[in-house]
């Protein structure tokens, strides 16, 4: 059964600036996208900042009206049957906002249990169960203002699950959480999907998407540029090989030389810890390593790695080409 059905969905923002000379600027945040998510699936929406991920989610959870197209969640139209949709979906976003700081975790959960019409008789048990699930048991009487970012995020998740939503929308849930917390979060999400919840997840972290998602849509500049399972996306990548070279000091002058190499599809410089890393992707099958090193003659080099393309490589290529 199709749980989320998105047809030619569009959203424009109008922003006005200036006091005297009013200028209206129209931004096309989502330019007509289509996708469908089946029951029990974990669907990932990947894309750079400003690509339209959050806008899409907000239309699906009825916070924003679409400017065009349509979307149905569990068979209900997000515009016409907003209340029916709201009853059945959960929404969790990343970051540390969205909580009542001066209340304890228990009170935060009680309030939202009320708003989501969780039966009074079940509330205490349900809240206890969720506190257990997200590992906040023992902290439920502390005020949220003293919580760490990870604890806040876990409280958010408990809040989003209070009414046992059939569909859960997770908007960059792991942003700003430490690696251990992020791993626990992934385990929680995986367990939810195991239990039959349908999840739509947006994230910047490719390994997260790779590990969790059944299917992924890559969105860039308001359009879906690719869709498929993580393996399909990796296979679709033109990169046959990736060479990464750590460099110290400036390597700018060598980059054009690298780009001119036969088969090279993209050359980018990333900053990791103290070093810069030149990442060269090629579509060819032959070993490129020696050519890359020749082109970097005169640059102070560190570690050199050649590897198979990852989901991130596929993603970078898709987004860069969009």
Residue numbers of the site for other proteins (CB under 8 A)?
A: 13-14, 58, 61-65, 83, 86-87, 91, 95, 97-103, 107, 110-112, 114-117, 120, 159
Q: How far is the CB of 85 from other proteins (least distance, A)?
A: 9
Pure H helices in the chain = 53-60, 82-88, 105-115, 120-134, 149-161, 179-194, 206-212, 230-236, 252-259, 289-295, 311-321
User: Smaller CB distance to other proteins: residue 114 or 270?
Assistant: 114
Closer to other proteins by CB, 62 or 237: give it. 62
* Least CB distance to other proteins at residue 62 (A): 7
Distance in Å, CB of 140 to other proteins, minimum: 14
Strand 76-77 versus strand 223-228 pairing type: unpaired
Cβ 254 to other proteins shortest distance, Å: 39
Neighbours of 302 (CB within 10 A): 12
Q: Is the CB of 116 or the CB of 205 nearer to other proteins?
A: 116
Q: Are 64 and 58 in contact (CB under 8 A)?
A: yes
Nearer to other proteins, 112 or 205 (CB): 112
Output 22 or 97, the one with its CB closest to other proteins.
97
Smallest separation (angstroms) from other proteins to the CB of 98: 4
Gap between the Cα atoms of 293 and 311, Å rounded: 25
Strand, helix or coil at 119? coil
Least Å from the CB of residue 110 to other proteins: 7
SS3 230: helix
**Nearest CB to other proteins, comparing residues 95 and 257:** 95
Considering the complex, what minimum distance in angstroms separates the CB of residue 175 from other proteins? 13
Which residues, listed in sequence order, are joined to residue 243 by a DSSP beta bridge? 280, 306
Assess contact for 285 and 240: CB atoms under 8 A: yes
Cβ-in-10-Å burial (0-12, 13-18, 19+) of 30 comes to: buried
Cβ proximity of 155 and 175 under 8 Å? no
Residue 94 C-beta: closest distance to other proteins, Å: 11
Going by their DSSP bridges, the two strands 167-171 and 89-93 should be labelled as parallel
**To 10 degrees, what angle do helices 105-115 and 149-161 make?**
30
**DSSP reduced 3-state for 139:** coil
Of 17 and 290, the one with the shorter C-beta distance to other proteins is 17
Calculate the alpha carbon distances from 239 to 5, 211, 243 in Å.
32, 21, 10
**Length, in residues, of the chain:** 322
| Nearest residue (CB) to other proteins, 165 versus 309 | 165
């Amino acid at each position: 059964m199709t749980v989320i059905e998105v047809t030619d969905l569009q959203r424009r923002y109008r922003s006005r600036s200036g006091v005297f000379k009013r200028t209206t600027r129209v931004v096309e945040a989502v330019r007509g996208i289509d996708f469908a998510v089946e029951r029990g699936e974990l669907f990932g929406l990947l894309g750079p900042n400003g690509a339209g991920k959050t806008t899409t989610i907000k239309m699906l959870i009825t916070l924003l009206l679409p400017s065009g197209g349509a979307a149905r969640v569990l068979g209900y139209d997000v515009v016409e049957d907003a209340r029916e949709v709201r009853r059945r979906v959960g929404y969790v976003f990343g970051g540390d906002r969205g909580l009542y700081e001066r209340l304890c975790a228990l009170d935060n959960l009680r309030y939202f249990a009320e708003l989501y019409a969780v039966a009074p008789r079940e509330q205490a048990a349900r809240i206890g169960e969720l506190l257990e699930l997200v590992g906040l048991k023992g902290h439920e009487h502390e005020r949220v203002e003293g919580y760490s970012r990870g604890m806040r995020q876990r409280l958010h998740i408990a809040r989003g699950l209070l009414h046992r939503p059939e569909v859960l929308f997770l908007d960059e849930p792991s942003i700003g959480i430490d690696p251990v917390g992020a791993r626990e979060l992934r385990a929680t999400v995986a367990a939810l999907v195991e239990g039959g919840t349908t999840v739509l997840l947006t994230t910047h972290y490719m390994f997260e998407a790779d590990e969790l998602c059944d299917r992924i849509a890559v969105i860039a500049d308001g359009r879906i540029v690719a869709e498929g399972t993580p393996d399909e996306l990796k296979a679709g990548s033109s990169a046959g090989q990736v060479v990464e070279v750590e460099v110290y000091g400036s390597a700018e002058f060598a980059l054009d030389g690298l780009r001119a190499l036969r088969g090279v599809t993209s050359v980018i410089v990333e900053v990791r810890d103290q070093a810069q890393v030149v990442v060269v992707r090629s579509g060819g099958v032959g070993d490129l390593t020696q050519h890359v090193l020749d082109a970097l003659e005169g640059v102070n080099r560190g570690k050199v790695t050649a590897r198979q393309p990852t989901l991130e490589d596929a993603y970078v290529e898709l987004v860069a080409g969009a």
